Structure 1
Amino acid sequence: MHTSRNLSAKSFLEYHRRLSPVLTWMQDSPEVPLSLEKASQLSCFSKFHFLRVFQALIGESFNEYKNRIRVERAATILLTHPKRRVTDVAMQLGYSSSENFTRAFKIRFGTPRVHCQTSPSLKKSKASSRHPILTCNV
């Protein structure tokens, strides 16, 4: 299996360039389902090779990354718009129920969502201005 450590710089840059549309889709539109077939087509890889390259470059599987992005976006929406209903946000991002979202949230952050808040120091960073970084305090 390839890892980012044993790829040549040229291969690494080429693979990253080819994954870029997939990563952009997943980060900008986590509410829009992205199948393995569509992701592999966007990056011009076979499904099998796409999964290997994605894991090697990103450090987590395609599904793990997709699920993480989705739960983090839902959490960000709930934290920045506290009047939004959990069920509405969960449905907006493709969860079949608020219970499924709550379960995914606890798996991702290790705590129920009531213990989480945005970190004021991190909100100021340019990277987090689009999607604030979350911290959880138990």
Structure 2
Amino acid sequence: MKWSRPISESSARIQKSIEFIRDNISRSITVADAAKIACYSEYHFQRLFKDEVGESFGAYVTRKKLETAAIKIAYGRDVNLTDIAFRYGYSSLSNFSKAFERFFGVRPSEIRDLIVKPPKKPGKLQDRYSKELVSKEMFTDEPHPTEEGLKVRFRNVEDNLKITMVEPFDVIFLSSRKGYEIEGVQGLWQEIEDYLQDLNLPSEQVDRFAICHDHPALFPKEKCRYDACLRYQPGLEALPFLRTTIPGGRFAVFSCKGPPEAVLDQYIEFSKVWLPRSGYEPTDFPVVDHLLPPDRAPYIQELWRHISRV
């Protein structure tokens, strides 16, 4: 059996460092710590990390901290900016605000007002990554909706949502070469389907997930990291995939309807309307998509958001 995408040892080791960054994004993360996780010298680690991820270690860590902070601010309720600054490793609100504005082109306090106050100048997001900060990719409504309207929308989301406890489980995965681009995602799942056929494993026996590492409003969607995952089961160990773990704990599971391109608006509605009023807050683990079988139509997937009580 010849695999079209063999996984190198270096890819597997760099993946361990990515997981380390993901799981410690609210802590101080050094090159030395990440290199130790990957079992490389700092020099070789930084070179291999950039080859694998497409960004330097320092740029990646800074971007992920600021992106995670931006999501907390944009979709949170009664957010304390000083707490956010300290949580993601900044010594003061002033230092955090300067770093945030350099990257996004707006101050942290302005991220919710993009509809009426777009960035005055480009930040690193545009200069380095060629991504403009666009309000409609971050929010779906007017700047100041009424509280009564929000209550109705909250109930609409809750009608398609459940809170469930999940035991940790392993998945194996391949990453999209074209990020969140629909063509790239569909091509990736077809590639995985071909692998399953090579193993003579019926498609309906495999549970499919995706880990969506980036918010497409805050990073170019063609560069966003999308990991197409199969829940691990005996018989899949021969596949040339990487391996990771979906953490255990409490998840908000929100059922989405419609074509794939309709999912983003539903995710925003869930994040902006339901989460801040739910009594829960999201952890720093990325959004997980659970792809549903055809017999679950009109629902196409579930958004799994790892949450904790406020």
Structure 1, unaligned runs of 5 or more: 1-8, 132-138
Bigger CA radius of gyration = 2
> Percent identical across equivalent pairs?
29
Q: How many residues align?
A: 122
Provide Cα deviations, 1:60-80, integer angstroms capped at 9, x if missing partner.
110110111111111111122
**Which of residues 14, 29, 38 is equivalent to 2:33?**
38
Q: TM-score, normalised by structure 2?
A: 0.36
**Which of residues 51, 57, 68 is equivalent to 1:56?**
51
Provide Cα deviations, 1:29-80, integer angstroms capped at 9, x if missing partner.
2112221111111101111000000111111110110111111111111122
2:13 counterpart residue number: 18
**Contact residue 14 and residue 52 of structure 2 kept, 8 A:** no
Higher helix share: 1
- Report 1:99-114 matches (<5 A): 99-113=94-108, 114=110
**Which of residues 56, 64, 85 is equivalent to 1:69?**
64
1:89 counterpart residue number: 84
> In 1, distance between residues paired with 2:81 and 2:89?
12
Provide Cα deviations, 1:64-98, integer angstroms capped at 9, x if missing partner.
10111111111111122231210011111111111
- Cα pair distance change 1:126/1:44, threshold 3 Å: closer
| Cα RMSD after superposing both structures | 2.5
Greater displacement, 79-88 / 49-58: 79-88
> In 2, distance between residues paired with 1:126 and 1:70?
19
- Cα pair distance change 1:39/1:126, threshold 3 Å: closer
> In 2, distance between residues paired with 1:129 and 1:119?
19
Q: Deviation of residue 109 (structure 1)?
A: 1.4
Q: TM-score, normalised by structure 1?
A: 0.75
Greater displacement, 113-122 / 51-60: 113-122
3-state SS of the aligned residue for 1:66? helix
> In 2, distance between residues paired with 1:130 and 1:103?
30
Higher strand share: 2
